[in-house]
Chains A and B, each alone.
Chain A
């Protein structure tokens, strides 16, 4: 497809388990971003990748969160030892580095930690 895709669309897990969320960006987009959308918190930036540069991890809320981007394309966001406060929709976006860099978002992964 032509858009950003994310999997799974929904994930229910138990507190303390690890989860992996996947993002496939738009082909050719150099930059990839992760955001979190939760009730009462709005949209929070987590991390972004730009080409081969070191990622900007300044938005990761704790060391339980990590992300990688393999081969400059697919990205995985990993949350270790999940907590109930991690429950949210995790959104991935990608952009080119031309013009305004408008970001195009995937449908998100809804994570529920029981």
Chain B
């Protein structure tokens, strides 16, 4: 069974400061990890993914995420937060190989609030 934990319900940060949204995972095989963002009354937007290779992956809107196999973590980061980054962020994982569809298992979400 696969699972994802997002330990923080909410993260507050001032605009211009760096932000981190935490995620840890558990899978039986090799992890495929994702971050999605959800703005109010909208569906989920794909931000970035980790398959293999470099532990630091870059995505949309200046976001990046760091994969740490030993800590089974995939934290989302941004060097300088914007008020417009305020939204609900979901971490997700799947562990089956390419060519076979499978469900994503999502964390419970972290609400990011960026203030002036």
CB-CB under 8 A for A48 and B103, given A102-B46, A104-B46, A108-B43: yes
Is B12 engaged at the interface, CB distance under 8 Å to the other chain? no
Q: Assess A95 versus B44: contact at CB under 8 Å? Given A43-B90, A101-B32, A102-B49.
A: no
- Report chain A residues within 8 Å CB of B46: 102-105
Judge whether B44 and A91 touch: CB under 8 Å.
yes
Q: Check A33–B44 contact: CB distance below 8 A.
A: no
Could you tell me the distance in whole angstroms from the C-beta of B30 to the nearest C-beta in chain A? 11
Partner of A105, one of B45, B94, B99, B109: B45
B91 to chain A, nearest CB (A): 11
Encoded as 1 (CB less than 8 Å from any A CB) or 0, chain B from 36 to 51 comes to 1000001111100111
* Nearest CB in chain B to that of A95: its residue: B101
Query: Count the A residues whose beta carbon is within 8 Å of the partner chain — how many?
Result: 27
Assess the B106–A43 pair: CB atoms within 8 A.
Answer: yes
The verdict on A91 contacting B43 (CB below 8 Å), with A30-B101, A42-B108, A100-B34 known, is yes
In the complex the two chains form, is A97's CB within 8 Å of B99's CB?
yes
Number of chain B residues close to chain A: CB under 8 A: 25
Asked if A107 and B42 sit within 8 Å, CB to CB, the answer is yes
| Chain B: minimal CB distance from A8 (Å) | 14
Interface residues of B in 76-104 (CB under 8 A from A): 90, 94, 98-104
**Chain B residues with CB below 8 A from A59, complex form:** 103
A105 and B103 contacting across the interface, CB-CB below 8 Å: no
A residues adjacent to B (C-beta < 8 A): 4, 30-31, 33, 42-43, 45, 48-50, 56, 59, 91, 93, 95, 97-108
Seen from chain B, the residues whose Cβ lies within 8 Å of a Cβ on chain A are 32, 34, 36, 42-46, 49-51, 90, 94, 98-109
User: Told that A33-B104, A97-B101 touch, could you supply 16 new A-B pairs with CB distance under 8 A?
Assistant: A33-B101, A43-B90, A45-B103, A49-B101, A50-B101, A59-B103, A91-B43, A100-B50, A100-B51, A100-B98, A101-B32, A101-B98, A101-B102, A102-B49, A104-B46, A107-B43
